[in-house]
Structure 1
Amino acid sequence: MKKVFCIGELLIDFVAENQGNDLSKAKEFSKKAGGAPANVACAISKLGGDGVFIGCVGNDPFGTFLLRILENEKVDVSLAQKTNTFTTLAFVSIDENGERDFVFSRGADKELVYDSSHKTNFENNILHFGAATSFLGGSLEDAYSRYLFDGLTKNAFISFDPNYRVDLWKNKQDVFIRKCHAFIEKSHLCKFSLEEAQLLSGKDNLEDACKVFHEMGTKIIVVTLGSKGTFLCTLNFSKTIPSIKVSPKDTTGAGDAFIGCLLQQIAEHTSIDNILEKEEILTQMVTRANKAGAITTLNFGAIESLPTLQQLDS
């Protein structure tokens, strides 16, 4: 089985449950582990895969808490770093439909330092880039780009999820788009929300958006559509794959569960090239990943809500 290296932020989510999606009105918050790449690593490990996290937390109680959570989920955190800058925080308010409002207080995640010794670990494995804060400067952004280059030179399978957050990119959307394009061009697999697909392609129509991304260079595109399922598009076929019906409590982490489940399945194949254009195999994989995403919405918090192999197979 291939290892999946998940690169980016690990942070604390302070979650206001069932208090509406207006943070200014929230009064009570619960501490949760968060950060898209870390969630993906946990999703992979909970399903029996080999998830590795590369990121940075503060040398403080929150950083200790976060790394302990990942270790408890059997994620390899040996490549994670600590810094004296305070751990990154996100405040999240959730309404009765599971929709969210975000505010970030950025800290240690931006201080990840590139380590050239990791390059040998990437050979013939999978690298997943979950970009929420990774294009906002600091040494993290430099490390992010250099690890992409390392992965490409070591024949790694590259996965990219932009994780667009409006609060982080107000009045800077053009910068976000430009930086994402550099990763879309080099990725084998890109996962978008509908909003992200439209923003990054400049197209309202989903098939037109995917055409733009294919022309950039990516081979497999998945666009998550919430309760409507996922639009899967390769160079040879496209289709919408339905999800299971649920009553969501919290959509936090659903996309991470989806891409984690998909990557875990890809990691089980000795030759990834054999599945890139196989409609039946990819359809089965996305169907299973849709189920993982749906299950995650049934409880509050991302990591604790990620499905186990037993839940997914039931």
Structure 2
Amino acid sequence: MSLHFEAISEEQPGPIWAGLFKVFWPSYRRWWASEGVTGRPTYRECRLAIRNHMPEILPLYEELCELAGGGDSQARFLSFYCPPRYLSGCSQAIWQGDRPLLVRNYDYHPGAFDAILLSTGWQGRRVIGMSDGMFGLIDGMNDAGLALSLTFGGRREVGEGFGIPLILRYILQVCETLDEAAAVLRRIPCHMSYNITVLDRHRRYFTAYLTPDRAPVIAHVPVATNHQERVEWSSHARFTATIERQRFLLSRLTMHPETQDRFISVFLRPPLYSTAFSSGFGTLYTAAYMPAEGEMQVWWPHHVWTHSFDAFNAGSQFILIPDAGPPEIAY
């Protein structure tokens, strides 16, 4: 199976973003309506939620809504407010070496993935990250020296709040310090359980355990897989091997001092690397963020794609995913 990745740079929202959204919108719309439209927040409720919780990006949200066509459905989708469920795999860890480095695997289904690395200067803040819904991010870094990524937190509960990709975008748009990022994660409601690992350019870090029904926990933990302080969804834990992956990463961090590239390369092999696409959770890419240098790399088993704020390599990559079956579901 092959994946087509694109690296796209557009300083301010404009025709490139609008064109991409138009291409993706039919799939986005099907996914957004997949759990039914009745009872979902109205446009007014969505806009009010952003104004109340993320006021700094309200003008950006309104600009993107206009570029997306100005329709009611597009605007409600772009708010990421009370969306359908997101379920993913993923592993992430902070390297224990001498430079700040966050490495993550994104385990998801290729039919539900933008496959776009987006470089923007929206509202005067430079951000590079993997797009979700053309507004949200699943990992990324900003020019203030913050890098972050997400994993699913391994709980079934769904509540009233935002889809996590918009919360990550918001942090990178408005935050400059680790404390500011932690404050955002403590106050903004998240509609499902996620683990967010945040690293700064001084190698300070934390992992936030977010849930829709409990207070957030900010922990000085360098590893996150698909559970939080304990396993609460046992069948999902067994299916994703979350405990085994966590133990493997902790072992690498505590027992095997190694170079940066060697540490990244362990994410390209089992138990971290997965080809279980027929079950919906194969590894689509490995990302390595180096916030002190403003550089990031996208890794696959036979290729590395390097980008930075000073040299963003816009273009395409066709990646062959080894031992992967054909997709069985669509976004």
Superposition TM-score, scaled by structure 1 size: 0.31
Superposition TM-score, scaled by structure 2 size: 0.30
Q: Is the helix fraction higher in 1 or 2? A: 1
Higher RCO (CA-CA < 8 Å; seq separation 6+): 2
